[in-house]
Copies of this chain bind each other. A is one copy, B any other.
Amino acid sequence: MSDGEKKQAKKLFNHVVVVGLGLIGSSLTRAITQRGLAGDVSGYDASLEVRDEARRLDIGAQIVDDLSAEVARADLVILAVPVGAMLGLAKEVCPHLKVGAILTDVGSVKGAIIKAVEPFMPKGAYFVPGHPVAGTEFSGPEAGFGHLFEGRWSILTPVEGTDEAIIDKVVAFWEGLGSHVELMSAEHHDIVLAITSHIPHLIAYNIVGTAADLEDVRQAEVIKYSAGGFRDFTRIAASDPVMWRDVFMNNKEAVLEMLGRFSEDLTQLQRHIRRGDGQALEDLFDRTRKIRRSIVEAGQETEKPDFGR
């Protein structure tokens, strides 16, 4: 099979438009082109600076300046902007979707996005909300790379009554990018991600903030001795500020619920320490070690130790 045939065999869409060219968007344009999933890939970003940067970098897409015209001829439109921007963007994009076109997104929150996008969807076009659980702590078009989605999970949260064939097409798209795909309700997604992603980010941001505000420990000391564990939290706490602000603003209910449970458990741990109950601590620490092993076994992490890489 020649390269041309290979490309042909995998092609799922004639024309794909990626809106938002940050880490995720620019990884998508790269990956779609590298894997030949579309006839044409166009990319757009509201920021002229980002568009220019994307043009310079060659991210596997034609960078366009007129979003509406591009959307009008697309079979698949992917919204890859922070959740907060997504709400306004839908209003701008949806009216231009052609009959049969599919709209999807990559937002880390699904309930709020569905609520914001659905009212603007024109008849004959389909919205299939999605969320690739993949990323790094870096942002911008230069941070993207084509294999970001390989071996990772992408979640789709189709709204009730969506045509099966349409869902299958979006599943095939993510599988074509090397991801595993799972379908669930938006409500369940928002709870699962609150505990696996949103709360970890929140407490990482929090502890880095706490450390920055100490009067009895100098900032230089925090940095020097960060290899003791703190370092890992700063990595997460270096994630895109606007994206994460929007996540917390738009998944408020699930985040507050999970935060409540986390705080209850922390209070109990505090009590164990105060009372000197070493056995209770050891029991918990034994249990958590096993969960790590499951994650390594599930291929979501290597077992290589981390000592500053």
Binding site for B on A (CB under 8 A): 84, 108, 133-138, 143, 148, 151-153, 155, 180, 182, 188, 191-193, 195-214, 216-217, 219, 221-239, 241-242, 244-246, 248-249, 252, 255-256, 258-259, 261-263, 265-266, 269-270, 273-274, 276, 278, 281-282, 284-289, 291-295, 298, 300-302, 304-309
Known: A205-B285, A223-B294. A307 touches B229 (CB 8 A): no
With both beta carbons as reference points, the residue of chain B lying nearest to A135 in the complex is identified as B307
Q: Chain A interface mostly helix, strand, loop or mixed? A: helix
A214 to B302, CA, bound (A): 25
Known: A230-B200, A298-B224. A205 touches B288 (CB 8 A): yes
Q: How far is the CB of A292 from chain B (nearest CB, A)?
A: 4
A189 to B19, CA, bound (A): 50
A143 to B306, CA, bound (A): 12
Q: Are B234 and A232 in contact (CB under 8 A)?
A: no
Copies of this protein in the complex: 2
A294 to B242, CA, bound (A): 21
Measured between beta carbons, the chain B residues less than 8 angstroms from A207 are 199-200, 203, 262
Q: Are A300 and B249 in contact (CB under 8 A)?
A: no
Choice from B229, B242, B291, B307 contacting A201 with Cβ under 8 Å: B229
Q: Are A282 and B224 in contact (CB under 8 A)?
A: no
A268 to B263, CA, bound (A): 13
Measured between beta carbons, the chain B residues less than 8 angstroms from A137 are 292, 305-306
Choice from B180, B225, B294 contacting A133 with Cβ under 8 Å: B225
Choice from B228, B233, B238, B295 contacting A234 with Cβ under 8 Å: B295
Q: Are B191 and A217 in contact (CB under 8 A)?
A: yes
A225 to B293, CA, bound (A): 15
With both beta carbons as reference points, the residue of chain B lying nearest to A180 in the complex is identified as B224
Q: How far is the CB of A131 from chain B (nearest CB, A)?
A: 9
Choice from B192, B261, B263 contacting A266 with Cβ under 8 Å: B263
Q: How far is the CB of A29 from chain B (nearest CB, A)?
A: 18
Seed contacts A197-B229, A235-B292, A301-B309; 17 additional CB < 8 Å A-B pairs? A108-B228, A151-B308, A196-B211, A202-B269, A207-B262, A210-B258, A210-B262, A213-B265, A214-B261, A223-B298, A226-B301, A231-B301, A232-B232, A234-B292, A238-B289, A252-B274, A259-B270
Measured between beta carbons, the chain B residues less than 8 angstroms from A151 are 308
Known: A235-B232, A291-B237, A292-B234. A136 touches B306 (CB 8 A): yes
Q: Are B288 and A273 in contact (CB under 8 A)?
A: no
Q: Are A237 and B285 in contact (CB under 8 A)?
A: yes
Q: Are B196 and A235 in contact (CB under 8 A)?
A: no
A87 to B286, CA, bound (A): 23
Choice from B182, B225, B249 contacting A153 with Cβ under 8 Å: B225
Measured between beta carbons, the chain B residues less than 8 angstroms from A225 are 133, 153, 155, 192-193, 196-197
Shortest Cβ-Cβ A-B pairs, 3 listed: A197-B228, A136-B305, A241-B285
